[in-house]
Structure 1
């Protein structure tokens, strides 16, 4: 039980940006220790645990490793668990876990989707008797089909049905208030199932740890993003508002051209009202705050995801001070702030500051191929061939399917070759000719780091 509590604690922390690294590391060590102790007890030669219990432990362990980003360990756990007769409930969970590993850690492309989809289809064709396994199989299939244009609509509707069923089964019957008016609740397309038609609680909770079943608000968030990807911003906006995901709410308003509304929502999260804290009690769509500008003092402590909110405000106002504040609030850990600053300086023509910003972004997040590619573009523009070659190579190692990056790397290599050829000619020239390297080498852009060196 302690292992499961710590795993859920880590799962909650992973959804909160900028949690302290020391806390996460300490929790990780506790989870690893508990896993080793449980594994030694369950798989001991004198163990009295049945095979089914051992497989349940391995599948739960795989889900914890998936959450931690340890794909190799998760694959080993699934491989160890896949030793049961054909398509028992645990076999079905094993297939779904294997599909989740591939969908989570493999690059997003058509070939990988075609490889993952048969796992979910095999489980569905077997008609699982457990409600939670069947729901998880539908969820896995809808996630995979959301990446294909022909099946995207079916994927979103399938996810909507799953959410509606969860809402209908987990929402209490509305009861009239004191004045006789029924309470307004979240509606769904599906009616509430009868007691005889609904799966019992024991069946729903039997494999939740082995399946790492998403919570209601997690799956609703996934549905909102699915609607947004499908172009239905109104449906997505309603869900985002209900879940109080204010960055997404602001982006939805911005996407439909309501920039003033988007700015108001973001500023409300970052600033107090000049009229006092009483304005915080109103809903975001209330008439009382329709014209409120939220120009009071900055909120302290800052709200969750405040670096992202500051970046969105900077995008709306094109204000570099907002991106700089996002960088400072995140304790120099929010790479998006530096990427946006780099692009801002590049548009202004200050390539030295742009390069500095992109370098800071790569230090924080070295797995973003677009950042490396943009850094290479800037180095290519200022004539820093060595820096451009390294940046483009790093980008290709992360994503080897970008033709533009290959083309730019070729340009950098050709330019470097031309420079080396020129230096060779200089070395072969007679000293008496009085030719210096500065007279032969091509001029570079002022502020070029390589030139300054």
Structure 2
């Protein structure tokens, strides 16, 4: 590590924080010119100033950019200049692609575009609408320099920001960037910088949450939002109050967000000329919920509002998309839309309102007009660049092309197909272009336009789309060769081609190779898992579904299939855990509860078996699984230990409650009444013994009511077993009764047993078990008869 003690640096820790937070702190005096320019949004001046004389000659000469930068940093002590140039380059890139206003590039140095394309594409190409990508490339090289990272704590944070923006310009989620950035997050969390500045720490947590939102890592994002809330001392709770949404509606309970701030809000600056929230102009629906009482409005700063907006996104991602979810999350969004004075947060909150309202016929038109308005706002000069950049990294602001894509999709939903098509063509969104041509019944144009673009400049994406349009697998092979055997997309689409034709054996090798190249493709993992199930490759199925569930934790079918794979592999403990996760995803799918019940009975989780059976009855009202009930009954009768080492007879009250529920809607099953009677007898009170006899008599009557019971050996054995249990219960109960009741019981037992014994003995059987069983029953019958005789003699 280089000794930094003698290096000339003007940028200290306090100034680093100013730049990180985009804060014009008047208390800090004598800021370097390059820092002042960054905070004022004059990024071109920084890039064309101190280093340009060196850069022009070297970079325009086509030299290795990375080597040149690292060598120059090592040989000189222009650390401040290099850091500021990297930051200005990144922020200028953001201005061109995210915040606007777009300006004509006026930088006096350039980098070879082929090198940029090669290094940024990561074999799967970046978005065709990205402008000045060399600025991102340049800043990433600077922030990756170890000397600068040792000189400035903030350098690694800037690298984290650069990495995330790199991901946002790619057409595919990158496992390489994800893994690298997670390592950066761990390093940033240990910075002394964070421990000394609460605002900085909170800002980082929101930025990290935004990173995890992109990859749909729900648990990780939730963790960092909670950390941000703790640092901000911000408490958020949904509450209800009377109000109305429509002009003619009576007051009814409406949700609002109760915000509690237990410290002073973080400092933030207000922005004038904010984007406007356009009116709904609906004849029935009100612009806002009108509450019948005044709802307290807590004053918040931009940081607190960024946390609330992040919480909104996290709730959206973690719950299924339906009207109930929308009702629960809208109050979070409404707070930001109505109150923020921050430009980025206003843009983002209005964007999310457009997406939220896009599915409602009363609001979709407002969504389309609002989205078009936001796009025009980007290039209006009435808001300074510095104001636009304020809290940008924590806001989750979408790039220009995403806003335009959303606008086109809204047009398409309203039937404005040609308008949408023009925008999709401009953005080079060929899949959407194909969809538009299909709607316009111009399917031939889809393949034509792709071939036309290929003739201009062939790409992996275009060849894959041509394969999709023509159903020719040779196109995927061409795409694969074009990528020099590095494109996960080419292999993915190749695999999907065979998967759609249910040719799973051919699909699997392509899907496997795709996820080897890029391991965070949820849609590939789940198809690979399904294909492996179909060909009965249980190990591959388990691996694929496990990886899918790590990426997308809310799909119950995947957890269910993972459990199936584990069961086939003989690992029921893992199957049980997977089914528990499946239930968290979908509490109302009775088949999952049934699967969990079966695995639970095998593993001895008997209390879970009872819970599962009750839940199935809640969902179906009617369910009978005699095998499960029989295993459960025998476990309790024999008082075996459950999976936790507890005696199962502790569960007797819960099991009896379950049987009571089952017999209420299945009154004619002999086996169920037999088990119910046996279990009731365990309580050994006079009342319960009498109930047990009644239940067993009911079982006996139902069994004999079947005229075919004597025709099959299996049913004969069951009747004899039932008679034996009935006789034992009669004798046990009668032994503790008064004489009169005892005689009645024994007489009833004699009547029940005699007929069965006679009928069975009158036939010849080839089954030795039947003779043994009838012998046992006859022995009890003889005991009953003998006791009856003894009672007569005593009288």
Q: TM-score range by the shorter chain?
A: 0.5 to 0.7
Match of 1:176 in 2: none
Match of 1:314 in 2: 467
Among 332, 343, 348, which residue is 1:136 paired with?
Answer: 348
Q: Assess if the C-alpha contact under 8 Å between 1:392 and 1:406 holds in 2.
A: no
Match of 2:443 in 1: 259
1:84-123 alignment to 2 at 5 Å? 84-85=263-264, 86-90=298-302, 91-103=304-316, 105-106=317-318, 108-110=320-322, 113-123=326-336
Match of 1:281 in 2: none
Among 164, 189, 192, which residue is 2:373 paired with?
Answer: 164
Instruction: Write the distance in 2 (CA, Å) between the matches of 1:65 and 1:382.
Output: 34
Q: Is the alpha carbon distance of 1:228 and 1:311 closer, same or farther for their aligned partners in structure 2, counting shifts above 3 Å?
A: farther
Instruction: Write the distance in 2 (CA, Å) between the matches of 1:28 and 1:415.
Output: 33
Q: Is the alpha carbon distance of 1:333 and 1:144 closer, same or farther for their aligned partners in structure 2, counting shifts above 3 Å?
A: farther
CA displacement at 1:77 relative to structure 2: 5.0
Instruction: Write the distance in 2 (CA, Å) between the matches of 1:121 and 1:309.
Output: 41
Q: Assess if the C-alpha contact under 8 Å between 1:376 and 1:387 holds in 2.
A: yes
Query: Mind listing any 5+ residue stretches in structure 1 that lack a counterpart?
Result: 173-197, 273-298, 418-453
**Once structures 1 and 2 are overlaid, which stretch shifts more, 7-16 or 387-396?**
387-396
CA displacement at 1:354 relative to structure 2: 2.9
Q: Is the alpha carbon distance of 1:347 and 1:270 closer, same or farther for their aligned partners in structure 2, counting shifts above 3 Å?
A: same
Among 333, 337, 362, which residue is 2:490 paired with?
Answer: 337
TM-score, normalising length: structure 1: 0.59
Q: Assess if the C-alpha contact under 8 Å between 1:74 and 1:101 holds in 2.
A: no
Among 196, 217, 223, which residue is 2:407 paired with?
Answer: 223
Q: Assess if the C-alpha contact under 8 Å between 2:355 and 2:367 holds in 1.
A: no
Q: Is the alpha carbon distance of 1:41 and 1:240 closer, same or farther for their aligned partners in structure 2, counting shifts above 3 Å?
A: same
Q: Assess if the C-alpha contact under 8 Å between 2:437 and 2:443 holds in 1.
A: yes
Q: Is the alpha carbon distance of 1:322 and 1:97 closer, same or farther for their aligned partners in structure 2, counting shifts above 3 Å?
A: same
TM-score, normalising length: structure 2: 0.37
Query: Would you say how many aligned residue pairs link Structure 1 and Structure 2?
Result: 349
Q: Secondary structure at the match of 1:213?
A: coil
Match of 1:40 in 2: 192
Q: Is the alpha carbon distance of 1:384 and 1:52 closer, same or farther for their aligned partners in structure 2, counting shifts above 3 Å?
A: closer
Q: Is the alpha carbon distance of 1:231 and 1:415 closer, same or farther for their aligned partners in structure 2, counting shifts above 3 Å?
A: farther
Q: Assess if the C-alpha contact under 8 Å between 1:163 and 1:216 holds in 2.
A: no
CA displacement at 1:113 relative to structure 2: 4.3
Among 50, 53, 71, which residue is 2:221 paired with?
Answer: 71
Q: Is the alpha carbon distance of 1:139 and 1:352 closer, same or farther for their aligned partners in structure 2, counting shifts above 3 Å?
A: closer
Instruction: Write the distance in 2 (CA, Å) between the matches of 1:412 and 1:119.
Output: 41
CA displacement at 1:323 relative to structure 2: 1.1
CA displacement at 1:119 relative to structure 2: 1.0
Instruction: Output one character per residue of 1:286-325: Cα deviation in whole Å (capped at 9) or x when no partner.
Output: xxxxxxxxxxxxx4xx5xxx32221110112221111122
Q: Is the alpha carbon distance of 1:116 and 1:335 closer, same or farther for their aligned partners in structure 2, counting shifts above 3 Å?
A: farther
Q: Assess if the C-alpha contact under 8 Å between 1:7 and 1:64 holds in 2.
A: no
CA displacement at 1:82 relative to structure 2: 2.4
CA displacement at 1:226 relative to structure 2: 4.1
Q: Is the alpha carbon distance of 1:133 and 1:359 closer, same or farther for their aligned partners in structure 2, counting shifts above 3 Å?
A: closer
Instruction: Write the distance in 1 (CA, Å) between the matches of 2:209 and 2:439.
Output: 39
Instruction: Output one character per residue of 1:10-45: Cα deviation in whole Å (capped at 9) or x when no partner.
Output: 344221347998899878877876x569x523643x
**Once structures 1 and 2 are overlaid, which stretch shifts more, 345-354 or 212-221?**
345-354
Match of 2:395 in 1: 211
CA displacement at 1:267 relative to structure 2: 1.8
Instruction: Write the distance in 2 (CA, Å) between the matches of 1:142 and 1:388.
Output: 39
CA displacement at 1:270 relative to structure 2: 1.9
Q: Secondary structure at the match of 2:299?
A: coil
The reply on whether 1:234 has 2:418 as its aligned counterpart is yes
1:168-317 alignment to 2 at 5 Å? 170=379, 203-228=387-412, 232-272=416-456, 299=457, 302=458, 306-317=459-470
CA displacement at 1:249 relative to structure 2: 2.8
Instruction: Output one character per residue of 1:77-126: Cα deviation in whole Å (capped at 9) or x when no partner.
Output: 522442344431232222112223444x535533654443221123345x
Among 142, 165, 170, which residue is 1:16 paired with?
Answer: 170
Instruction: Output one character per residue of 1:333-378: Cα deviation in whole Å (capped at 9) or x when no partner.
Output: 5445334433544677865323323333443455556545544554
1:388-399 alignment to 2 at 5 Å? 398=552
Q: Is the alpha carbon distance of 1:382 and 1:135 closer, same or farther for their aligned partners in structure 2, counting shifts above 3 Å?
A: closer
1:434-445 alignment to 2 at 5 Å? none
Q: Assess if the C-alpha contact under 8 Å between 2:371 and 2:407 holds in 1.
A: no
Instruction: Write the distance in 2 (CA, Å) between the matches of 1:128 and 1:265.
Output: 44
**Once structures 1 and 2 are overlaid, which stretch shifts more, 159-168 or 405-414?**
405-414
Q: Assess if the C-alpha contact under 8 Å between 2:222 and 2:314 holds in 1.
A: no
Instruction: Output one character per residue of 1:261-298: Cα deviation in whole Å (capped at 9) or x when no partner.
Output: 222321232224xxxxxxxxxxxxxxxxxxxxxxxxxx
Instruction: Write the distance in 1 (CA, Å) between the matches of 2:173 and 2:531.
Output: 33
Q: Assess if the C-alpha contact under 8 Å between 1:379 and 1:388 holds in 2.
A: yes
Match of 1:424 in 2: none
RMSD: 4.6
**Once structures 1 and 2 are overlaid, which stretch shifts more, 215-224 or 16-25?**
16-25
Instruction: Write the distance in 2 (CA, Å) between the matches of 1:199 and 1:371.
Output: 43
Instruction: Write the distance in 1 (CA, Å) between the matches of 2:373 and 2:333.
Output: 21
Q: Secondary structure at the match of 1:271?
A: helix
Q: Assess if the C-alpha contact under 8 Å between 1:13 and 1:19 holds in 2.
A: no
CA displacement at 1:128 relative to structure 2: 3.3
Instruction: Write the distance in 2 (CA, Å) between the matches of 1:22 and 1:404.
Output: 25
CA displacement at 1:200 relative to structure 2: 6.6
